[in-house]
Structure 1
């Protein structure tokens, strides 16, 4: 543990994260197409991204902790094989109910990127852990943004099914390559699966920082998901009337923010995570304030996308990195706690975003996101105060 990780291994983990995390986001630029394809309303079609993220959150809770008690490479291979097979099945969904069910189960098994985060933290030396984790996390961030761009492009030129066929093939190939690209890992938890899950709950009970970081992650990703779920509705309507391919390009804008992930990790290694979390919170609030004023101005939306992605990703990396310092032996369980709350927040954010859109369109979504970020800031400030008084 912590003996160091080679550049080629980090590169493979980054590329893998980019390619597998997209399974969760390919459906978002397609919501308008899928609503017409299956004859459902905008509010109803929003169930697809919500169910995908709920399935993922449950998979995070039940599958990712296994990384502490079984060989992680094998867990990665099983996850990618199952998720790839289900992505292929989604492309041939006969009706909306089957599409929703397959999206949920695919989300449940699509945990390989999240398994890689504690894997990278355990391989890295202590003095480089923030940088390595930040670099691997950048793959997840880039993949989530690239997925929207790629999905929109392929849907317009090859049909909506093409992106899921691509996703299935990529996941199955990566499951094979993982055997040679990554080292075997030694299990660090010796006990039953029931005891493993119980110990995960005990981490939540015993550590205030775990509860704080998890709640902040949930709230911030809720605001992020509310934004991306409803952005499609804004951009395909008047006055923009953008095509799925053009809507997908907005995901590419967010890649600039994602590229800050390794830099945030290095800064956290040197200065601590509190400063980068504050920066992320300030950027996120500023972004939603700009977006609230930009329902008809594409320049404001572009600026808001850039600042929001930067803020959310910087806060996310620092938030998760500080959790890994609690226990080296429990990093898979800590990762599962954080990402479970993170994506429960995301799924609720998708739903709340669609409700806000129905109620007050874009200004309501943007102001809702700003309220979310203010809530996360209050939780962080309270936690800082608790730790200050505990140390004095």
Structure 2
């Protein structure tokens, strides 16, 4: 069946949302386990952070090199194949006897986990125009739930078995999901008419020619860097004085952040109404404010929970707004736009992870909070300056035509 004549059913959107969350979760299973992995492989806190950094950098490479193929190859076959290869990476990690193979498996799983960013533009393409924001919001809810619940699932499975159990189970579920996607997704092939090297080059051309895309990529990088600053070091905080929580308990904190998925559908619906300006302002301001309670985490677990909730709501709101703007700008190049935007997004995330692990190793939780607050201020100032020079409103007018 040709996807161009297809409209997504509720069941298809649900499966795509679940799949998006499942594959991206493979980048985050290690986060609540970092202190356990550090102990097993003789690593410092900063050294253990390299596992998360490798995952995010590999994901960024996949975004740049693999996602543009969605504008060239048949989407269903591409999605199923990448999902299976992601499972292979998880299997390598599960059976790894040393850190080198953990990093190899992590890199392979993350490289092909970019299939989530093929599913999102496919959903945007197949959705009715008046429901595009809602569908994208639903898929991004799945993505955020995957990122956050990965911690809860990893903590729970680690408590039932050990850290390897997490990866064995995740690989099995991934293979079953690949089979379901092969059966449920519609056939869709939309060739951009460019050879691969020109397809990749066009990603950079789009960035060079469209200022709104550059702005949204920078805001995305800031937001995910801020997100990663919090979640990379939080396991170390919660495993040390005064809490001494187990892997399973640390994983439960993902349930609090999962409430941020609510922001995806709300931001998507507001984007359908043309209110992207409002959601951007609100998200960036809340990101900065969230670090006030987060900074008090050593004194109050309630303050930390409030900060997690506000930060994750804000990150998701900014991210979904960004995606709706750029998808409207380039309806015939959504995979390439996604590749460029999400490459920037995950470079921001890997940078945030590295800064977070380094700050915690040298200055503890106060250092982590200072880094998060400074990055939040940087994102807000970027938006303010951009609006002062008058670029964003014009871009939004074009995006909302």
Q: Which bin holds the TM-score, normalised by the shorter protein?
A: over 0.9
Q: 1:269 to 1:3 in 2, by over 3 A?
A: farther
Equivalent position of 1:87 in the other structure:
90
In structure 2, distance between residues paired with 1:288 and 1:388: 27
Indicate conservation of the 8 Å contact 1:209/1:383, yes or no: no
Q: CA deviation at 1:29?
A: 0.6
1:100 and 2:110 equivalent?
no
Indicate conservation of the 8 Å contact 2:93/2:104, yes or no: no
Equivalent position of 1:193 in the other structure:
196
The count of corresponding residues between Structure 1 and Structure 2 is: 392
In structure 2, distance between residues paired with 1:175 and 1:129: 24
In structure 2, distance between residues paired with 1:266 and 1:181: 26
Q: CA deviation at 1:387?
A: 2.5
Equivalent position of 1:312 in the other structure:
315
Q: 1:56 to 1:324 in 2, by over 3 A?
A: same
RMSD of aligned residue pairs (Cα, Å): 1.5
Indicate conservation of the 8 Å contact 2:217/2:341, yes or no: yes
Indicate conservation of the 8 Å contact 2:242/2:298, yes or no: no
Indicate conservation of the 8 Å contact 1:20/1:167, yes or no: no
Indicate conservation of the 8 Å contact 1:85/1:172, yes or no: no
Equivalent position of 2:283 in the other structure:
280
Q: 1:390 to 1:142 in 2, by over 3 A?
A: closer
Equivalent position of 1:335 in the other structure:
338
CA deviation profile, 1:344-392 (whole Å, cap 9, x unmatched): 1101110000111122211221121111111111222233332268699
Q: CA deviation at 1:170?
A: 1.5
1:251 and 2:254 equivalent?
yes
Q: Which runs of 5+ in 1 are unaligned?
A: none
Q: Which of residues 77, 81, 84 is equivalent to 2:80?
A: 77
Indicate conservation of the 8 Å contact 1:188/1:329, yes or no: no
In structure 1, distance between residues paired with 2:200 and 2:274: 34
1:133 and 2:136 equivalent?
yes
1:374 and 2:372 equivalent?
no
TM-score, normalised via structure 2 length:
0.95
Indicate conservation of the 8 Å contact 2:263/2:314, yes or no: no
Q: Which of residues 78, 96, 120 is equivalent to 2:123?
A: 120
TM-score, normalised via structure 1 length:
0.97
Equivalent position of 1:11 in the other structure:
14
* Paired residue secondary structure (1:225): helix
- Moved segments of 4+, more than 4 Å: 388-392
* Paired residue secondary structure (2:192): coil
* Paired residue secondary structure (1:260): helix
Q: 1:85 to 1:275 in 2, by over 3 A?
A: same
Equivalent position of 1:39 in the other structure:
42
Q: How does 1:142-153 map to 2 (within 5 A)?
A: 142-153=145-156
1:60 and 2:63 equivalent?
yes
* Paired residue secondary structure (1:329): coil
In structure 2, distance between residues paired with 1:388 and 1:136: 26
Q: 1:343 to 1:388 in 2, by over 3 A?
A: closer
Indicate conservation of the 8 Å contact 1:56/1:108, yes or no: yes
1:224 and 2:255 equivalent?
no
Q: Which runs of 5+ in 2 are unaligned?
A: none
In structure 2, distance between residues paired with 1:94 and 1:16: 29
